[in-house]
Amino acid sequence: MNNNDNEFNAINGNNLASVYELISTYGMEAMPQAMEILFNEAMLIERTQHLGVGHYERSNNRLDYANGYKPKRVKTRIGELDLSVPQTRNSDFYPNCLEKGLRSERALNIALSEMYVNGVSTRRVSKIIESMCGTSVSSQMVSNAAKKLDSALNAWRERPLGKIEYLMVDARYEQVRVDNLVRDCAVLIALGIDDKGKREVLGVQVSLSEAEVYWREFLGDSQKRGMHGTKLIISDAHSGIKAVRKAIMPGVA
pLDDT digits (tens, 9 = 90+) for 213-253: 999 999 999 999 999 999 999 998 888 888 988 888 888 87
pLDDT at 251: 80
pLDDT at 141: 58
pLDDT at 2: 36
Classify 166 as helix, strand or coil: strand
Tell whether the model's pLDDT for residue 53 goes beyond 70.
no
Name the helix (H) or strand (E) containing 218.
helix 212-224
Q: Which residues pair with 192 in a beta bridge?
A: 167, 200
CA atoms of 107 and 6, how far apart (whole Å): 29
More confident of the two residues 108 and 242 = 242
More confident of the two residues 75 and 19 = 75
pLDDT at 22: 33
Residues 6+ apart with CB under 8 A from 145: 37, 38, 41, 42, 45, 125, 129
Average pLDDT over every residue of 181-197: 90
pLDDT at 212: 92
Tell whether the model's pLDDT for residue 121 goes beyond 80.
no
Tell whether the model's pLDDT for residue 8 goes beyond 80.
no
Helices (H) and strands (E) in the chain, counts: 9, 6
pLDDT at 31: 67
What value does the mean pLDDT of the chain take? 73
% of the chain exceeding 70 in pLDDT: 61
pLDDT at 194: 92
Q: Which residues pair with 183 in a beta bridge?
A: 176
Tell whether the model's pLDDT for residue 165 goes beyond 90.
yes
pLDDT at 65: 76
Least confident among 13-22, 42-51, 189-198: 13-22
pLDDT digits (tens, 9 = 90+) for 54-82: 555 565 666 677 778 888 888 776 667 88
Average pLDDT over every residue of 5-14: 29
More confident of the two residues 152 and 28 = 152
